[in-house]
Amino acid sequence: MRTHPGSPPEPSTPPPAIEIRGLCKSFGNKDVLSSIDLDVAPGEVVCVIGPSGSGKSTLLRCVSLLETPSAGRVVVNGTEVTAAEVDIDRVRRGVGMVFQHFNLFPHLTVLGNLTLAQRRVLRRGRKEAERVARENLDRVGLADRADDYPARLSGGQQQRVAIARALSMEPRLMLFDEPTSALDPELVGEVLAVMRRLALDGMTMMVVTHEMGFARQVADRVVFMDAGTVIEEGGPAQVLEAPRHERTRRFLSRLLDPLTVPGPARTRQEPAPAR
């Protein structure tokens, strides 16, 4: 789909947007991430897939410092965010984050959601902030909903507002944590369309997702994680069509045909026994 001037990667490529080295994270004595190494090049779209509990969210949250890594190095846009003296708030400004449950501010209108951080963090004037906000609302196809409160919007619209809110800070990098998992199936498409356009515009993106169609079409690279480690990574065709590892194969086959897994999903359809 997309062509990169620098691909296939050569030694002379620009410094990565994200550089992760030996990243470990544990909660109490539970190791959630064990020694992750991962680079994301500027303009690259990396999709992270893997079973529930494999540490995908934790990995993203370590990049945006919503979690403090237990060990290892994370460098974002050339700044080592794991260094002791780093200004976390300044680093975060350059990193947009989109959550599974949108996390819009319910007490503010759509426009208020998009202008708050611009005004308070970037110190933009009202006019300037609103101009940027409307531009980004237009980008996600919601220019006419600026004055609505989030509760009035559908899930898909709320997620698009959340994307526009992150874009209003003009980040160099966007992180998405299962952005369509909380949506009704018919609303997934509109959000993925916005993300695809963003990718085509050259945004650097790291996307945790279960949408294999999106990963196949949009990702430059797919990373499969299990039990806190990267099992394999490569082009979408390679990882999704011809996985090298048994665990990847098992995960993908379960995803494509969920009924092969014994579980409560089938028994639920049987009629309840009469009393």
Partner 1 sequence: MGITEGTRAAEAAGTPYTVSPAAARRRTLLRAGSYAVPAAVVLLAVLTADRARLADQFARLSLAGTMFPEVLTVALLNTVLYTAGGFVFGLVLGLGIAVMRLSGVRLYRWLAMAYIEVFRGLPALLVFVFVGVGVPLAFPGVHFPGGVYGQVTFALGLVAAAYMAETIRAGIEAVPRGQWEAARSLGMSHGRALVSVVAPQAFRIVVPPLTNELILLFKDSSLVLFLGVTLQDRELTKFGQDMASASANTTPIVVAGCCYLLITVPLSVLVRRLERRNHRMR
Binding site residues, ligand ATP, CB under 6 A: 27, 32, 50, 52-58
Choose which of 92, 139, 145, 221 interacts with partner 1 (CB under 8 A): 92
Among positions 190-229, residues that touch partner 1 (CB under 8 A) are none
- Could you give the C-alpha distances from 49 to 182, 222, 252, 257, in angstroms and in order? 16, 7, 10, 16
- Cβ proximity to ligand ATP: between 101 and 197 the closer is 101
52 contacts which partner out of Mg ion, partner 1, ligand ATP, none, CB within 5 to 8 A by kind?
Answer: ligand ATP
Among positions 40-99, residues that touch Mg ion (CB under 5 A) are 57
- Cβ proximity to ligand ATP: between 54 and 157 the closer is 54
Instruction: Work out how close the CB of 101 gets to partner 1 at its nearest, in angstroms, rounded to a whole number.
Output: 6
Among residues 222, 223, 173, 218, the alpha carbon closest in space to that of 192 is found at: 218
> Hunting for tokens 């460098």 — which residue is that?
75
Among positions 95-134, residues that touch partner 1 (CB under 8 A) are 95-97, 99, 101, 103-107, 116-117, 120-122
- Distance (Å, whole) CA 246 – CA 101: 32
Instruction: Work out how close the CB of 72 gets to partner 1 at its nearest, in angstroms, rounded to a whole number.
Output: 20
Please, are residues 212 and 182 in contact by the beta-carbon 8 Å criterion?
Answer: no
Q: What angle do CA 109, 66, 40 make, to 5 degrees?
A: 100
- Distance (Å, whole) CA 99 – CA 116: 18
Among positions 200-239, residues that touch Mg ion (CB under 5 A) are none
Beta strand spans in the chain (E): 18-27, 30-40, 45-49, 71-76, 79-80, 95-98, 173-177, 204-208, 221-226, 229-234
Q: Which two tokens stand for residue 253?
A: 């086959």
- Tell me the β-bridge partners of 177: 208
Instruction: Work out how close the CB of 193 gets to Mg ion at its nearest, in angstroms, rounded to a whole number.
Output: 23
- Distance (Å, whole) CA 135 – CA 79: 29
Choose which of 89, 144, 186, 201 interacts with partner 1 (CB under 8 A): 89
Residue whose CB is nearest to ligand ATP in the complex, by number: 57
- Distance (Å, whole) CA 218 – CA 201: 12
- Cβ proximity to ligand ATP: between 52 and 269 the closer is 52
Instruction: Work out how close the CB of 262 gets to partner 1 at its nearest, in angstroms, rounded to a whole number.
Output: 22
Size, binding site for partner 1 by CB under 8 A: 31
107 contacts which partner out of ligand ATP, partner 1, Mg ion, none, CB within 5 to 8 A by kind?
Answer: partner 1
> Hunting for tokens 């379960």 — which residue is that?
254
Instruction: Work out how close the CB of 184 gets to partner 1 at its nearest, in angstroms, rounded to a whole number.
Output: 20
Summarize as ranges the residues that interact with Mg ion (CB under 5 A).
57
Summarize as ranges the residues that interact with partner 1 (CB under 8 A).
64, 66, 89-90, 92-93, 95-97, 99, 101, 103-107, 116-117, 120-122, 151, 162, 165-166, 169, 271-275
